[in-house]
Structure 1
Amino acid sequence: MNKVISSPSEKENQVRELFGLGVHFGYSRIRRHPSVDKFVFGYKSKNAIIDLEKTIDSLVVAKDFVKTLGREGKQLLLVGNKSEAREAVKKAAARADLPYVAERWIGGTLTNSTQIKNRVKRLEQIEADEASGELAKYTKKERGLIAKEKRDLDRYFGGIVKMPKMPGALFVVDAQAEAIAVAEANKLNIPVISLSSSDCDIRPIDYPIIGNDSAVASVTYFLNQIVSAYKEGVAEAVAVATTATEEIKADPVTS
């Protein structure tokens, strides 16, 4: 298990790295939410300065949880629809073959799973028809309408095609911007990890990480940290399974 408290020199280096990425920049005092007060170091020019040591401690706890998810074979759903997060979310998801939502959270994605699954199935059907040449039987106008339907479906549901069941947890960029996703996860008792700035209500968040959620460099850093932890957990599970298989082969009688 990761330790929350790093050695002084290690934490100092981490603070410098986060400072260089602008993670410490929060929003103005009038926008700050009371739930993040303990994570704010102070204010400069009326803007919140986030306590990076506390950010580091929170990240360690979140990574430990995510690593366990990977070890247990549970999926992590990445959510980030704001322009600063969109591409970073897609790239991070691709690194670990994780599901994601990076264009718009469709209400009911978690709480109305039957309807969402129907839309995903429709997307898969169109793709299958394309591959088989089945669409050739339609007129040019009909094919154009189907192509538009596919673009729309892929935009909003393409990232969750590989999510056959409910995720083990959500990682969201900006809890305020993704309030609907957070609410749906809360309703289903799905843990939520979030990179959120000083304007967010973090009370519904199980693993809040307070930091700049509007800078691409900051968002990318935390996504990479979380996904790397998940991949470590998956690798550990594979190693354990491989060892068990080798032991059975080596001693088939006792197994």
Structure 2
Amino acid sequence: MPQVTMRQMLEAGVHFGHQTRYWNPKMAPYIFGARGKIHIINLEKTVPLFNDAMNFLSSIAQKRGTVLFLGTKRSARESIKEEAERCNMPFMTQRWLGGTLTNFRTVKQSVARLKELEAAETDGTFDKLVKHEVLGLRREREKLDASLGGIKEMNRLPDAIFVIDIGHEDIAIKEAKKLGIPVIAVVDTNYDPALVDYAIPGNDDAIRAVQLYARAAADAVLEGKAAAPNSASVREEEFSAESADEGKGRRAPAKKGDKKADAAAAE
């Protein structure tokens, strides 16, 4: 499991919450106190919860599952995209499209359209069109890519969602809960940690803190993938199974009058 120390969290500003007047009382167990009207998060409570969340992400990846990285707020976009790409997981960093999860079939149709436009641009199809048609299709592609480019290869619903700001991503979290998809999220002092399955009490605004969360999540995924059954071994087992099946198909010539053998040969 990727190790993130309390010192690293302090240096990244994970302990700084929101102004005390905006607090959610359900975060009280995770608040150390206040300094200058800013709540201070108790990192002694955060660290074990953070480790639990990272262990869960690793377990998903070890089972060859998919984790959707989600961070559409400005301070999270770059880190979420970079770390999701590093661990080869889908991501969304622009506005969440309502129904992305609950109406996934329609979303897949839009993704198919995006892939169609990308193919048309590279295979010479655009060269056969007039200029204004090409401009229109490129604008359509750019719009689709901005919204769906990060989930272009996500062929099924994710097995879990990793979220930076639950207030900013409330629609996505509601969709995930409706479908029973586990949510791992950073929860600041102004939100209810009970809204997600794995809450990480921490600063959800500071760029350095967001980088720390996203990097650790990607490391957890990569560690889980590394612990998964070796792909070469899987291919070898599949090859052995295929060879065995072929061997079963090579039966000895049936003796005349042997109905069982004749039937097996016919199969």
* TM superposition score normalised by structure 2: 0.85
Identify the residue that residue 156 of structure 2 maps to in structure 1: 165
Identify the residue that residue 156 of structure 1 maps to in structure 2: 147
Point out where structure 2 has 5 or more consecutive residues left out of the alignment: 245-267
Match of 1:183 among 174, 178, 187: 174
Deviation at 1:44, TM superposition (A): 0.9
Change (3 A) 1:150 1:35: same
Q: Take 2:116 and 2:236, find their aligned partners in 1: how far apart are those partners?
A: 38
Any runs of at least 4 consecutive aligned residues in structure 1 with deviations exceeding 2 A, and if so which?
A: 238-246
For the Cα contact (< 8 Å) 1:36–1:200, is it kept in 2? yes
Matched letter for residue 25 of structure 2: P
Work out which of the two has the higher radius of gyration on C-alpha atoms and give 1 or 2.
2
Deviation at 1:184, TM superposition (A): 0.3
Match of 1:84 among 75, 81, 100: 75
- Alignment of 1:40 with 2:31, yes or no, is yes
Identify the residue that residue 67 of structure 1 maps to in structure 2: 58
Identify the residue that residue 142 of structure 1 maps to in structure 2: 133
Q: Take 2:177 and 2:100, find their aligned partners in 1: how far apart are those partners?
A: 13
Deviation at 1:241, TM superposition (A): 6.5
Q: Take 2:40 and 2:127, find their aligned partners in 1: how far apart are those partners?
A: 59
Q: Take 2:66 and 2:131, find their aligned partners in 1: how far apart are those partners?
A: 40
For the Cα contact (< 8 Å) 1:174–1:200, is it kept in 2? no
Deviation at 1:139, TM superposition (A): 1.2
Deviation at 1:244, TM superposition (A): 9.7
Deviation at 1:243, TM superposition (A): 8.7
* TM superposition score normalised by structure 1: 0.89
Q: Take 2:135 and 2:41, find their aligned partners in 1: how far apart are those partners?
A: 50
Matched letter for residue 132 of structure 1: D
Point out where structure 1 has 5 or more consecutive residues left out of the alignment: 3-9
Name the SS for the 1:111 alignment partner: coil
- Alignment of 1:234 with 2:225, yes or no, is yes
Name the SS for the 1:171 alignment partner: strand
Matched letter for residue 164 of structure 1: N
Q: Take 1:243 and 1:136, find their aligned partners in 2: how far apart are those partners?
A: 44
For 1:119-138, list aligned pairs within 5 A.
119-138=110-129
Identify the residue that residue 212 of structure 2 maps to in structure 1: 221
Match of 1:99 among 74, 85, 90: 90
Deviation at 1:47, TM superposition (A): 0.9
- Alignment of 1:212 with 2:212, yes or no, is no
Matched letter for residue 45 of structure 2: K
Matched letter for residue 204 of structure 1: L
Q: Take 1:80 and 1:244, find their aligned partners in 2: how far apart are those partners?
A: 36
- Alignment of 1:55 with 2:46, yes or no, is yes
Cα deviation 1:65-98 (Å, max 9, x = unaligned): 1111011011000000011000000001111111
Name the SS for the 2:163 alignment partner: strand
Change (3 A) 1:134 1:243: closer
Name the SS for the 1:107 alignment partner: coil
Quote the sequence identity (%).
36
Matched letter for residue 169 of structure 1: A
Identify the residue that residue 186 of structure 2 maps to in structure 1: 195
Over aligned residue pairs, what C-alpha RMSD do you find? 2.1
- Alignment of 1:118 with 2:109, yes or no, is yes
